[in-house]
Structure formats: structure tokens, C-alpha cells
Amino acid sequence: MATLNIVKDGDEVLRKICRPVTEITPRIKRLLDDMKTTLHKANGVGLAAPQVGVLRRIAIVEVEEGELIELINPEIISSEGEQEEIEGCLSVPGRWGITHRPMKVKVRATDRNGDTFEVEGEGLLARALCHEIDHLDGVIFYDKAVRMLSKEEIEGEE
């Protein structure tokens, strides 16, 4: 499994809408495996295919170590509540902002075997699912931030 290059803010690929996956091929499965390797190496919580330069509706999320969720063609089917938390992104290193996200979401997606499933997330998992699905539509977290944190605020958090 390869470590892929994470696309950085400013690259136009991050602003494009991704195409649905119509067939799960060995190439798609290899992409999922490589995205997992890349996510672990970057110590991230989630990664979407456009962040590695692939314009397909694929994302992975791992809030709890060892509990990787692979999402092909994910869609949010319900949400409730609200949370306001600090959010960052592997494609936007060193920048953090405060975003409003649903407290709970339910997402429907396809797994690597072609089976449809639903996952419910609350708190950080809900935020991560929304963040990664946003990437598939060309949306970056700071587009939804109510306020970006200053360098002083970020350094004070560490």
C-alpha cells in the first residue's frame, strides 16, 4: 500500500465536484487501501479522494483507532442538533476554524464489496463525516467556518 500525496489548499482539484463510483474495481479497492495508509501516516481523522487528487465520491473516516469507515458514494440522509467546534484539515495545514455542524448524522454509502450500509455518527464522528462529504462537493471546512483562529489562538491551544 502506497502513501499518497495530500493535495494542499489552492489546488483546483479541491474545488471540483466528484463523480460517483459506478463500479467497484480493483483500482477503487487499491485507492481505499492507499488512502488508509495515507490517513494513518498523516495522523488524520478523515480523508476524501479529492484530497489525493482523485475526483471520485470516496472518503474514509477513522475517529476511533482501528474502526475505519470506508464510504463510496456517501450521502447524508438525516441530521439533527448542532455543534460548534474547532476544525482543521489535512489539505489546509496549520489553519483551524470554528464550524457549525450537526450533532448527529446518518449517512448511507456503499462499502468496498458493493453493499449499501448506513452509519450514524455523533459529535466528532458526525463532524468528520460531514467534513469529508463536503470535500466530495468541492467544499473546504473554512467555507463553513464562523471564525478562523489566529496564529496566537492556535499556539495557545498546544
- What pLDDT digit, counting tens, does each position of 5-63 carry? 999 999 999 999 999 999 999 999 999 999 999 999 999 999 999 999 999 999 999 99
Q: Is residue 157's pLDDT more than 90?
A: no
What type of residue sits at position 122? E
Provide the 10 A C-beta neighbour count for residue 17: 11
Residue 143 clears pLDDT 70, i.e. is over it? yes
152 is known as an active-site residue = no
Q: Percent of the chain, pLDDT > 90?
A: 94
Return the DSSP state at 45. Answer: S
Segments making up each domain of the chain, as ranges: 12-157
Which one of the listed residues 84, 118, 132, 153 is annotated catalytic? Answer: 132
Q: Domain 12-157 carries which CATH code?
A: 3.90.45.10
